[in-house]
């Protein structure tokens, strides 16, 4: 196994590069004044950077090098860090190395970030909450998921998102636990809320993400995720499990389905229905709160500026001091 000792976040102008990176995408070769070139985007668990290969006039040779690797594979790169339009990139030419690596040569953890929290501890904490649910129908539903080793393995390793909140291995578990805690606090303030429904809905609200995301050397979206989305997939997963349970109340079935379908709050954010009862509303706002706060904190942490503000598409201005 090759020891990866250079990471994107540590690269500086003029550095010599000799490390492994995952390929996010690549663009076909094009002609330039001295020959043919192509660019590709690479990443590791610390960030992303564009790489450019500058070949000579031998077009076929450049195409052969281009065809060596595919998206989501890992490549060994040597080159030099340069700057283009105020952004760092890796420049390579015919004197540098570009080769595809075999899976045995690298550690997947170098390319996909992982939660800093203890996944085992978070799972134990979540299972304590599952066991706290008193309603026998909801308890049986939850155990039908969390007594399934295949489901648990996918759930605890799934990211919370691709690019925004908790976008790392274990992120879904971390986000789910946060949403459950926010809902618990909501119940403390509003004791008339159905606590079992609130907790069950919070635990299950994002389970469709285990089928929506595909983890290779990066977090990507699956075909099912692209075509259907985790709200629809999650609702189907819950309804399928309910179908295996005896005498599950119809109204409860509909309420749980509604929670999964409405937890994005608005049609334009992917929810076919807006929240129509208090527990669904509480889960929507708890989900929204944790996702937005986590993402905003990350943007603030990653800001590379001495200015007091940064401007983002999602939040507009973020104050850094």
Task: Write out the DSSP string of 203-232.
Answer: HHTTTTHHHHEEESSSEEE-HHHHHT-HHH
pLDDT tens for 257-314 read: 999 999 999 988 889 999 999 999 999 999 999 999 999 998 998 887 888 999 988 8
Task: Write out the DSSP string of 62-110.
Answer: HHHHHTT--TT-EEEEEEEEEEETTEEEEEEETTS-EEEPPGGGS-GGG
The whole-number pLDDT of residue 318 equals 92
Of the candidates 66, 92, 69, 61, the one whose C-alpha atom is nearest the C-alpha of residue 23 is 69
Residue ranges per domain, the chain? 8-110, 119-302
Backbone angles phi, psi at 230, to 5 degrees: -75, -20
Q: Could you tell me the fold of the domain covering 8-110?
A: OB fold (Dihydrolipoamide Acetyltransferase, E2P) (2.40.50)
Instruction: Return the structure tokens found at 170.
Output: 């274990």
> Please, which residues have CB within 8 angstroms of residue 218's CB and are 6 or more apart in sequence?
22, 24, 43, 72, 111, 112
The whole-number pLDDT of residue 269 equals 83
Q: How far is it, in rounded angstroms, from Cα 71 to Cα 306?
A: 35
Residues of the chain with pLDDT under 50: none
Per the CB < 8 A criterion, the answer to whether 231 and 283 are in contact is no
**37: helix, strand or coil:** strand
The whole-number pLDDT of residue 280 equals 98
What is the Cα Rg of the chain in Å?
A: 23
Q: Could you tell me the fold of the domain covering 119-302?
A: Hypothetical protein af1432 (1.10.3210)
């Amino acid at each position: 196994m090759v020891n990866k000792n250079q990471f994107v976040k540590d690269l500086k102008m003029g550095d010599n590069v000799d490390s492994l990176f995952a390929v996010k995408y690549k663009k076909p070769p094009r002609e330039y004044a001295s020959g043919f070139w192509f660019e590709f985007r690479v990443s590791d668990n610390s960030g992303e950077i564009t790489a450019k290969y500058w070949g000579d006039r031998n077009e076929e040779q450049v195409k052969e090098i281009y065809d060596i690797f595919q998206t989501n594979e890992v490549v060994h790169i040597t080159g030099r860090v340069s700057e283009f339009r105020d952004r760092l990139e890796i420049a390579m030419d015919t004197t540098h190395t570009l080769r595809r690596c075999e899976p045995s040569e690298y550690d997947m953890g170098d390319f996909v970030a992982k939660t800093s929290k203890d996944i085992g501890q978070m799972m134990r904490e979540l299972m304590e909450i599952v066991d706290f649910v008193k309603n026998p129908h909801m308890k049986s539903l939850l155990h039908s998921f969390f007594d399934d080793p295949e489901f648990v393995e996918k759930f605890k390793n799934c990211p919370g998102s691709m690019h925004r909140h908790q976008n790392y291995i274990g992120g879904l578990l971390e986000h789910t636990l946060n949403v459950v805690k926010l809902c618990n606090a909501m119940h403390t303030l509003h004791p008339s809320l159905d606590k079992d429904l609130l907790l069950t809905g919070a635990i299950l609200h994002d389970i469709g993400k285990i089928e929506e995301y595909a983890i290779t050397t990066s977090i990507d979206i699956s075909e099912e995720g692209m075509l259907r989305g985790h709200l629809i997939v999650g609702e189907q997963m819950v309804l399928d499990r309910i179908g295996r349970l005896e005498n599950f109340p119809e109204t409860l079935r509909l309420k749980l389905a509604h929670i999964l379908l409405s937890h994005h709050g608005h049609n334009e954010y992917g929810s076919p229905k807006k929240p129509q009862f208090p527990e669904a509303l509480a889960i929507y706002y708890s989900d929204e709160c944790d996702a937005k706060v986590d993402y905003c904190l990350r943007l603030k942490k990653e800001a590379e500026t001495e200015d007091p503000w940064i401007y983002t598409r999602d939040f507009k201005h973020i104050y850094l001091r």
